[in-house]
Structure 1
Amino acid sequence: MIVNIVLFQVGWFACVLSAAHGWPWLGTGVAVAVVAYHLMRATRTNEELKLIAIALVIGAVWDSALVALGWISYTSGTLVAGAAPQWILALWALFATTLNISMRWMKQRWLIAFVLGAACGPLSYWGAGRMGAATFTEPMATLIALAVGWGVIMPTLMWLSVRFDGVGSKGAAV
């Protein structure tokens, strides 16, 4: 579990800092390497891959909506106008690697997932903004939207992690 947390944090900082400095592919590469390592260690790779893919789609839709609405803009890495940059998508895949390991304790604790999603989701975006990787055009409205969105997304991801658990009860992957 500790390795999973550390690798997620390394990937998060790599994505955010490299994007802030105009090298978004560097962080994306780190995140992809962590996801690949996680999948190599998974006991049921197909289940874990499905969870990561679904989380990636949810993230692509959510973050692209925030961009399209003009509430958030990213410093670098946007390949398609009005869409989330590739390093944000890499972060969604990276985040999905934590659902069946370091966040396993949150499974079927929907209220806790809602509260932590609503509180911690916006903090992650705010941190990325403070490091220069993103800008909020309407900071208060954006943070409220992030809180509401993540309040729904986090329990949804936890529900999906019950259905697609490629790690098993002992959390063997990292």
Structure 2
Amino acid sequence: MKLQAPYAWLTNALLFQVGWFICVLTGSLPALISTLIILFIHFKWIGSWQVERDIILTTWLLGSALDSFLVQLNIIQLPTHSLLIPLWLSCLWALFATLLNHCLSWLQSKRLLSMLLAPPIAALSYFAGSKLTSVTIDTIGLITIGICWAVLFPLLLSFAQLFARQHLVNTP
């Protein structure tokens, strides 16, 4: 049984927020388990794997690559030196992708607004995450993250819209 709006949107946002806290506060193994559970619930009550798999995989890959690049540039400072971000941080990207065709779908046709909203919201999220973990991000880092999100967020919204349309066209 799929939830109807506004319950689907609210549930989508709450699932993401619960997942965010679990990932940030508990570490990689609990993050992976909770992400898989949240994705299962998301596909059972809200979304569809067939429709959303491409945007989830694309967002997960692009977001993880971006954060790994920011780690290499020392913009995001982890307690241990690594080429890749920790699994808990990567899981956040898969969870974020679930929002793009649901509670954030209203921004798909508002690219300029999404470019303006993304920097302060992303910077705030990264700042909060850094205060709850051993990750360090300075002010210049937060500004850099905001700039990256001003580009990435509208791009991801466009991909989400495109992948959903392609699914509709290819569905008999």
Same fold (TM over 0.5): yes
Q: What is the alpha-carbon distance in structure 2 between the residues aligned to residue 94 and residue 146 of structure 1?
A: 18
Name 2:16's counterpart in structure 1: 8
User: The residue matched to 1:84 in structure 2 has which SS?
Assistant: coil
Deviation at 1:156, TM superposition (A): 0.5
Q: 1:141–1:33: structure 2 CA closer, same or farther, 3 Å change rule?
A: same
Q: Which runs of 5+ in 1 are unaligned?
A: 169-174
Aligned to 1:145: 144
C-alpha distance in 1 between matches for 2:134 and 2:66: 17
Flag the 1:144–1:5 CA change in 2: closer, same or farther, 3 A. same
3-state SS of paired residue (2:99)? helix
TM-score (norm 2): 0.84
Aligned residues: 158
Distance 1:17 1:110 in 2: 32
Task: Tell me the alpha carbon deviations over residues 100-159 of structure 1, each in whole angstroms, 9 at most, x when there is no partner.
Answer: 1110111110011101111111111100011124112xx122011101000001101110
Question: CA-to-partner distance for each residue in 1:40-82, whole Å, 9 max, x for gaps?
Answer: 4466522301110000111111000011111212357x8xx22
Residue 36 (1) aligns with residue 40 (2) = yes
TM-score, normalised to structure 1, is 0.83
Q: What code does the residue aligned with 1:90 have?
A: C
Instruction: Structure 2 unaligned segments of length 5 or more: list them.
Output: 1-8, 168-172
* Aligned alpha-carbon RMSD (Å): 2.0
**Counterparts of 1:83-94 in structure 2 under 5 Å?**
83-94=84-95
Give the counterpart letter for 2:43 in structure 1. Answer: L
Shift, 1:11, TM fit: 0.1
> Runs of at least 4 residues of structure 1 off by over 2 A?
39-47, 73-76
Q: Give, in whole Å, the separation in 2 of the partners of 1:133 and 1:56.
A: 22
Relative contact order: is structure 1 or structure 2 higher (C-alpha 8 Å, sep ≥ 6)?
Answer: 1
Which of 55, 59, 81 is 2:59 aligned to? 55
Q: Which has the higher helix share?
A: 2
Q: Counterparts of 1:54 and 1:158 in 2: how far apart (Å)?
A: 11
In structure 1, distance between residues paired with 2:92 and 2:47: 22
Equivalent residue for 1:67?
71
Aligned letter for 1:49?
R
